[in-house]
Structure 1
Amino acid sequence: MTLPIARSTGAAAGVPTLRVATYNIHKGVRGVGPARRLEIHNLCRGVAALDADLVCLQEVRLFNHGESRRFARSHLGWPEQGQAEFLAPQGYDSAYRTNARTRDGEHGNALLSRWPLGDVVQHDISDHRFEQRGLLHVPVRWQDRTLHVVVVHFGLIHRSRVRQVERLAHYLSAVVPAGAPLLVAGDFNDWSERLDAPMATAGLARALDHGGERAQRTFPSRLPVFALDRVYVRGLRCVAAQVPRHGSWARLSDHLPLVVELRPT
């Protein structure tokens, strides 16, 4: 399995660089029916290979009774702890909160961090009863400053996503100081590339490589044509972005991870 991800080589001496990854892990399972396979153990290696200071995860399970029974006799088995804790590399802290509850379990957003975490908040941004959606907000102590990190997973309908941006903006204006550095990362489900303008009204700019000339495509993982996974920032600028496609990344999830490197503005 070929997984290592290189850091950029253009870092300026003495300028702090924050490496951030966002990744929808598809609940640690791939395939359908009898062909379903457990990928959470390979994802553990993949997350470590990203070598990110912050890893923002979506579709993470704390528990699922059906899946744990199904994979109990597989080679490595279903992890005993929640997936966020299981995936956290040695020395990382983890934060997790549930977004959606299902018949056999639940799933939500998570943050894995090399840096100390503050109080963890989950905020409901569901737009209708058929999709349970939330944001995970965690202050992170980075380079003697407080960086506010928000992990999101937006809905499948464009008008719902626009309303979720509005709820996000309202939440941020209420709880995040105006001058504080901020990043919002996750799966935005923005197939039509129409959320950059609403996010800009909330003071957030999309982190793009090559001066904003190219979006990083992450979905579907075997032949990525959509840039669904993104990082938006305030008080930070993007100096590099990449989507790993080589080796075994395409089999781990239906999404590829997005990795960006950020510096203070």
Structure 2
Amino acid sequence: MPRDAPDAPYLSTHLAAPPDGDGGVVGRSLTVASYNVHRWAGVRGGKAYRPERASAVIEEIDADVLALQEVLRPSDRDDDPITDVAEALGYHLAFVVTRQHKRGELGNAVLSRWPLAGALAIDLSFGRLERRAALAVRLRSEVGLVTVAATHLALVDRTRARQVRALLEHPQIASGPAVLLGDMNAWRPTRASRALAEAFEARHHNRDWPASYPSVRPVLALDRLYARGATVVSLKTHATEAARKGSDHLPIVARLRLE
């Protein structure tokens, strides 16, 4: 970690896209997506660096709001893929650093067609070995403020349950319309998934969710979406040829109708 780097997690970037003339207010329906971009390393991971692959998938999805996990902002290169894709596609951007990676900053990002009314980091680092966080942003809509929280939960069940409890009790998520999505690292019913299902009245068993991992032949539903104050009209994986090469996870895409 660089000597002058603050303790993670922290809100590292909040960029605004050029005005689009819509007043910055979400309508009654929107498309949201979640995508683990695997440090821009494609399917194989390791030291590979192919940001153009996942960036092409993000463009292909064309969602109104995207939650991205394992976003790497390299310190050993001149480019910054997340900023590049936001500027190229006209998205507003918020990025929270979860931890300092040997190759740069690693964390969660949100891309939004609409201006962000607020953005904050939520520390979910309850285990000694895993640094985890969530990024919560707010959007102005016809029904008031809507919270969208992007996260990447722990591998250990007990730690993941504590993280879910912290998210559900957070004042920005606990009230009003909210969408929680990301890589939940859960493929079977656990305390964490049951708590989410009860809080958001959503599905929680693997057979009820579209499988997203591994991308070449998905069998596990690691990537999930929960909504309150909104109806999930449709939920599916984005299983194109480009998506199977862009990361080890397939994106999930949902159509929501605000209540």
1:1-265 matches, cutoff 5 A: 16-30=28-42, 31=44, 36-65=47-76, 68=77, 80-81=79-80, 83-88=81-86, 89-143=88-142, 145-171=144-170, 174-176=171-173, 178=175, 180-194=176-190, 195-201=192-198, 203-206=199-202, 214-265=208-259
Structure 1 residues 231-264: Cα deviation after superposition (integer angstroms, max 9, x where no partner): 1110001111121223221111000000000102
Deviation by residue 1:177-233 (Cα, 9 ceiling, x = unmatched)? 63x2100010000022333321134x223379xxx9831100010110000001111
> Counting strand residues as a fraction of each chain, which structure ranks higher?
2
Q: What amino acid does structure 2 have at the position aligned with 1:59?
A: E
* AA aligned opposite 1:57: L
Distance apart, 1:144 and its partner CA: 6.0
What is the TM-score when the length of structure 1 is the normalising length?
Answer: 0.79
CA contact (8 A) 1:207 1:230 kept: no
Measure the CA separation in 1 of the matches of 2:35 and 2:132. 16
Alignment check: 8 A CA contact 2:237 2:250 kept: yes
Deviation at 1:45, TM superposition (A): 1.7
Which region of structure 1 is more displaced relative to structure 2, 228-237 or 143-152?
143-152
Runs of 5+ unmatched residues, structure 2: 1-26
Q: Percent identity?
A: 31
Give 1:107's aligned amino acid. L
Secondary structure in structure 1 of the residue aligned to 2:245: helix
Q: Take 1:32 and 1:45, find their aligned partners in 2: how far apart are those partners?
A: 17
Q: Deviations over 1:37-71 (max 9, x none)?
A: 43211222210110110000000022242xx3xxx
| CA–CA separation in structure 2 for the residues paired with 1:115 and 1:213 | 33
Rounded to whole Å, the distance in 2 between the matches of 1:221 and 1:129 is 29
2-side partners of 1:143 and 1:116: how far apart? 14
Aligned positions, number: 229
Distance 2:73 2:236 in 1: 29
Tell me by how many angstroms 1:116 deviates.
1.2
Note the C-alpha offset of 1:92.
1.2
Distance 2:233 2:139 in 1: 20
Cα distance in 2 between the residues matched to 1:223 and 1:23:
16
User: Segments of 4+ in structure 1 off by > 4 A?
Assistant: none
Give the Cα separation in 1 of the matches to 2:153 and 2:48.
26
Preserved CA contact (<8 Å) 1:96 1:111:
yes
Q: Which amino acid in 2 is paired with 1:24?
A: N
CA distance in 1, matches of 2:37, 2:82: 11
Partner SS, residue 135 of structure 1: strand
Call closer, same or farther: CA 1:199–1:19 in 2, change over 3 Å: same
**1:253/1:97 Cα in 2 relative to 1: closer, same or farther (>3 Å)?**
same
Q: 1:207 to 1:241 in 2, by over 3 A?
A: farther
Q: Aligned letter for 2:172?
A: V
Q: CA deviation at 1:176?
A: 4.4
